[in-house]
Amino acid sequence: MANKLFDNLIEVEQKKRADDDGLVRFVAIFLLVFCLLFYARTQVYMLIDVVGDSMCPTLDSGDLLVANRKTDCKRGDIIVFSVGGEKNLIKRVIAVAGDTVWSENGMVYVSYKDGNGERYYQLSEDYLLTQGITYVEKTTVNDGCVFVLGDNRAISNDSRNFGQVKISTILGVVTNWSVAGKDTIFSRLYYLL
């Protein structure tokens, strides 16, 4: 009888240790996941709340987006940056260092040099078809800078007004999946994290 009681006490103690180990494992995993999400949100990604209509119809005021802090920008990317102490601005990169950008008959052109010499192309901007004429003075982009325009050219405050954007002022590049999923429940949930 004493042996049976002793065996029961051992079983109870082992079950209690297993429960305690499970709780410790759960807390450790929870803390690890929390720390990884916190790091990602503060060091790799930033959350952007679009304010204003300068990027319509691509982005609307109130859209929630994710920008990657660790990515270099290229032509066509949507970036978040600061200029002259203003709050974060969101615009599209039209030209990068060494490119020349200008407009003719309301269409925007970019020329660049590659291994085959100088090339140029007309921007394909379907979202601008109803906005009228875009005027861009011929500008060659300096080293360490980009030239940006808003998608809603009629009201956008962009490089036509404040000049080229220094790469050092770029806070992040808006991710394509963020733009594609801007109206999903997942973007709203990520915003709450």
Segment 126-184, tens digit of pLDDT: 666 556 667 889 999 999 999 999 988 888 899 999 999 999 999 999 987 777 666 66
pLDDT greater than 70 at residue 29: yes
How far apart are alpha carbons 179 and 66 in whole angstroms? 8
Q: 151: how many CB neighbours lie within 10 A of its CB?
A: 21
49 phi, psi to nearest 5 deg? -105, 115
Which residue intervals of the chain are DSSP H helices?
Answer: 2-39, 159-162, 176-180, 185-192
Q: Are 134 and 8 in contact (CB under 8 A)?
A: no
Residue found under tokens 């085959």: 116
Helices (H) and strands (E) in the chain, counts: 4, 11
Contact 106, 132 (CB under 8 A): yes
**Catalytically active residues, by annotation:** 54, 91
Least confident of 32-36, 93-97, 105-109, 146-150: 32-36
Domains of the chain by start residue, with CATH: 44-192 (2.10.109.10)
In angstroms, the CA 56 to CA 150 distance is 8
Average pLDDT for 30-35? 68
pLDDT band at residue 187 using 50, 70 and 90 as cut-offs: low
What's the Cα-to-Cα distance from 115 to each of 25, 112, 119, 143, 164, rounded to whole Å?
56, 10, 10, 19, 25
Question: Residue 11's pLDDT band (boundaries 50, 70, 90)?
Answer: low
Does this model's pTM top 0.75? My answer is: no
